Amino acid sequence: MLILTCPYCGVAADETELAPGGEAHLRRHGPDSSDSDFEAYLFLRRNPRGLHLERWRHAHGCGKWFHAARDTMTMEVLGTYPAQVTAPPPEIVHASDADTA
Amino acid sequence: MFDAMSPKTGARYEGRVTVAEAGLSGMITLRGALDTIAQPVADATGLEVPDTLGIVEEGGRALAWMSPDEMMLFCAYEDAADLAARLAEATADEHALVVDMSDARAIFVLTGAETSLRETLAKLTPADVRPEAFPAGMVRRSRLAQAAAAFWIANDGTLRVMCFRSVADYVFALLSHAAHPEGAVDHF
């Protein structure tokens, strides 16, 4: 059972209160992009053993999208952070570095 | 013209706690940056903007925090249309939305011992409803079994459960079943 703390309302929400949104920080490639870029944007996803940055929506709560950093092997949640960023905050990157070092 | 009907008019179940439908209630959805709608709401109702996850009650009205850009104002059913119109006018220059949603939702009032109220909820929701995590005056939006719901402990010690009108029947059945006299777990 996964429990993520919504960075907007501070509620520790159960997995079943949330809607998953897949991999985070994807860069969109639109109509003018190359076929391979568009294919990568649309279909190709990381499947890491370890740190995974993902999107979640607090669907049964405040309704906001947010990001979560989770270890796919241990299910450890390294943190959650707001959606209005294009990269994870430094403390989460450092936390994951410390884990793998 | 038809008379307005609450979703489960007169519904009542007496078990470990009493589950009763609140009847017609005024509910006004306020959306926008909360600081821009705070003043018009305070002028019209005297209610302060609640803290995150909070609800403030005063003089039969209440203002609940629903999300970073949404609040719900509770008032008498008859007042809702007027109040919504006044608030809409007062926030006309802001990027804000005020809508009378009184008929969209159902509210159930649960009365009984606080431990039994918490236990009734805990049977149905994944939310942490221990007193330290769910104190009076906090609105928790979550789910009850398969339906979205919001619940809070009001100033008068009753537990209020709000859900969409379309699932009022289901939620009333859930709450009644969870409050069955022979279903005691006595966890809290």
Q: In the predicted model, is pLDDT for residue A80 greater than 90?
A: yes
Q: What percent of chain B has pLDDT over 90?
A: 89
Give the residue from chain B lying closest to A18, CA to CA: B142
| End position of a domain, from candidates B50, B80, B100 | B100
pLDDT digits (tens, 9 = 90+) for B40-54: 999 888 899 999 999
Q: Quick one: pLDDT at residue A100?
A: 55
Work out the number of other CB atoms within 10 angstroms of the CB of residue A95: 17
For residue B30, being part of any structural domain is answered with yes
- Interface contact A19, partner B, CB < 8 A: no
Q: Write down the mean pLDDT value for chain B.
A: 95
Q: Write down the mean pLDDT value for chain A.
A: 91
The CATH T-level fold of domain A3-25+40-100 is Folate-binding fold (3.30.2270)
Residue A101: pLDDT band by 50, 70, 90 thresholds? very low
pLDDT digits (tens, 9 = 90+) for A35-68: 999 999 999 999 999 999 999 999 999 999 999 9
| End position of a domain, from candidates B84, B100, B116 | B100
From residue B184, alpha-carbon distances to A37, A53, B87, B120, B126 in Å are 59, 42, 45, 9, 18
**Spatial distance between the Cα atoms of B87 and B80, rounded to a whole number of angstroms:** 10
Which residues of chain A lie closer than 8 angstroms to B143, CB-CB?
16-17, 60
What is the number of CB-based contacts under 8 A between chain A and chain B? 40
Quick one: B65 and B79 in the same domain? yes
Residue B177, min C-alpha distance to chain A (Å): 22
CATH classification of the domain holding B51 = 3.30.70.1520
- ipTM of the complex, rounded to two decimals: 0.89
Residue B55, min C-alpha distance to chain A (Å): 14
- Cβ–Cβ of A14/B53 closer than 8 Å? no
Quick one: B79 and B117 in the same domain? no
Which residues of chain B lie closer than 8 angstroms to A5, CB-CB?
none
Q: What is the residue range of B126's domain? A: 12-23+104-179
